[in-house]
Structure 1
Amino acid sequence: MWELFLICLGVGVGAGLLAGALGLGGGVVIVPALIFLFHGLGFPADLVAKMAVATSLSTIMITSISAVRTHHKAGFVRWPVVLRLGVGIVLGAFAGAFIADAMKGELLTRLFGLFAMVIALQMALTGRKAPDGNLPERVPGAVGLGVAGVLIGTGSAIFGIGGGSLTVPFLSWCRLKMQEAVAIASACGLPIAIAGTLGFAVAGWQETRLPEGALGYVFLPATAGIVLTSFPFARLAARLSHRLPSAMLKKVFAVVLFVIGLRLVLG
């Protein structure tokens, strides 16, 4: 158990840095790490991916609070956009947990691996360039943002991420400033995490093969270890993201993420 706790502390550092600096919910680090860890602990193979995704979402509840407070103080969170996205996000994230529960564990693992590889390529091939200031924003209305929220929430819950991997590209397409896109993505991570965690807790409530310390599919000991470090490091990284370029960090992380994703796909 001590080894588990120490490993989760390290996972939390990486998750917090990504959540704060790049607008990623940290799930792109947490989920593959927990998949490998839970396999090593001998958890039922068909439950490993579901538990990793559910536990990832539970940690993002804490990480997102830390990051969004810092972004809010800096004045980058546009709350009307967050609220309109949030309605759809809650519905999508709760439903996404049950969709993931209906999948076979091996399929969910391979899908996450493919998702990780796509995100890695996206990060490696695109830069964080601000939209052309001469072009007007094209943010959809309440209905459009609600539909986008449903799609973002569903995908985020299935893959155990805070939504930044989906929200930031969408808001960039809407021609928002990158600082605002990252800040809004961090704020949207909270409803994603709450609704997704609740969905996985309910979906796994009747599962009898779960280890001690599990709440549905959420493995609480891992949650505790990760949030102890993800919370402060998310706050630190959010501050640094307002001052430092993150191009090098993105490209290095993209290489690591692609290798991890490939490993999950190949099994």
Structure 2
Amino acid sequence: MVVFELMFLLPLLGAVTGLLAGLFGVGGGAVMVPVLTWLFYRFNLSELWVVHLALGTSMAAIIPTAIASLRAHHRRGGVYWNAVRGLAPGIILGSFAATFVASNLEPEPLSLFFFVFMCVIAWRLLRSGKPGETGDRQINLPRLSQLSLVGSGIGAISALAAIGGGTLTVPYLASRGLPLKTAIGSSAAVGLPIAMAGTLGYLWNGFQQVDLPAWSTGFVYWPGVLGIAATSLLTAPLGASLAHRLPVGVLRRLFALLVVLLALQMLLMTLAA
């Protein structure tokens, strides 16, 4: 019964996260993790592993969303592949390693990290203007070894917060001279290896745990992944199209406020449980 009720709610979540993934180059974890945490608490899916399941399920759900978003941005020439190739090796290593840390943390510190991290990202979004939108700055990426190190940091933080990395990758690439829309498209491409490595880590670390719900493998709850992906695959290309047509300044600030509210809800809910 729980699975059937969730399958009515999760496509709504998938539609929103897919749109955000295409529009902002993010994986959607900033929305998925707190909402999934609320849903899993609401339906008593697991008392011990609720936050871990939300993180692992979010990571797995990012994979199809990232693929759809990546393809849409690539068709519009919005992916700078040199940056993606430089960041990817470090991102894969950092994402996978960080899941071992997350899997051994209690829900409270994990939720606190997610809340603090999202508040920092929201603050950066609120105080920033429109970096890189002029399109006339010279692209100035560091050499490959340094870029891979940056990727390790992005991957590790992204796996801990179960996000696609766009909240870190977009500001970084824009600061190195990429136009904002190209930074968003490149971030969508970077989100795929983050999600794949992070998912593998959450599967591995949760495989031997007890008190996990049916239809889950490790910390990945498959009905959640399927329910979200069913609609995110459709709305991610729409978000990518909007990103290449609309000014994003106001939308970015609204997204920052949404991130803070959702992260706060997740923190309060975890502390009250």
2:182 aligned counterpart, secondary structure: helix
What do the CA deviations read for 1:74-118 (whole angstroms, capped 9, x no partner)? Answer: 112121221111011111111111111121111101211222222
8 Å CA contact 1:26, 1:161 repeated in 2: yes
CA–CA distance in structure 1, aligned partners of residues 125 and 9 of structure 2:
26
What stretches of structure 1 of length at least 5 have no aligned partner? Answer: none
> Does 2:182 correspond to 1:151?
no
Q: 1:73 corresponds to which residue?
A: 75
8 Å CA contact 1:131, 1:175 repeated in 2: no
8 Å CA contact 2:108, 2:267 repeated in 1: no
TM-score, length of structure 2 as denominator length: 0.93
Quick one: which of 30, 37, 40 aligns to 1:38?
A: 40
Q: 1:185 corresponds to which residue?
A: 187
Higher mean displacement: 239-248 or 126-135: 126-135
CA apart distance, 1:240 = 1.4
CA–CA distance in structure 2, aligned partners of residues 226 and 128 of structure 1:
31
Structure 2 counterpart of 1:136, one-letter code: Q
CA–CA distance in structure 2, aligned partners of residues 114 and 130 of structure 1:
26
Q: 1:173 corresponds to which residue?
A: 175
Higher mean displacement: 134-143 or 98-107: 134-143
Quick one: which of 243, 256, 259 aligns to 2:258?
A: 256
Q: Percent of aligned pairs with the same residue?
A: 39
CA apart distance, 1:191 = 0.5
Aligned length: 267
2:48 aligned counterpart, secondary structure: helix
CA apart distance, 1:138 = 1.9
8 Å CA contact 2:38, 2:266 repeated in 1: no
Higher mean displacement: 117-126 or 59-68: 117-126
What stretches of structure 2 of length at least 5 have no aligned partner? Answer: none
- Residues 45, 113 of structure 1: alpha-carbon distance in 2 compared, 3 angstrom cutoff: farther
Matches within 5 A, 1:79-158: 79-130=81-132, 135-158=137-160
Q: 2:208 corresponds to which residue?
A: 206
CA–CA distance in structure 2, aligned partners of residues 153 and 15 of structure 1:
20
Higher mean displacement: 19-28 or 115-124: 115-124
CA apart distance, 1:23 = 1.0
TM-score, length of structure 1 as denominator length: 0.95
Aligned-pair Cα RMSD in Å:
1.5
2:49 aligned counterpart, secondary structure: helix
CA–CA distance in structure 2, aligned partners of residues 191 and 162 of structure 1:
9
8 Å CA contact 2:131, 2:174 repeated in 1: no
What do the CA deviations read for 1:142-182 (whole angstroms, capped 9, x no partner)? Answer: 10110011111111111100010111111112111111111
What do the CA deviations read for 1:233-258 (whole angstroms, capped 9, x no partner)? Answer: 00111011101112232222322222
- Residues 133, 56 of structure 1: alpha-carbon distance in 2 compared, 3 angstrom cutoff: closer
- Residues 46, 122 of structure 1: alpha-carbon distance in 2 compared, 3 angstrom cutoff: farther
Q: 2:12 corresponds to which residue?
A: 10
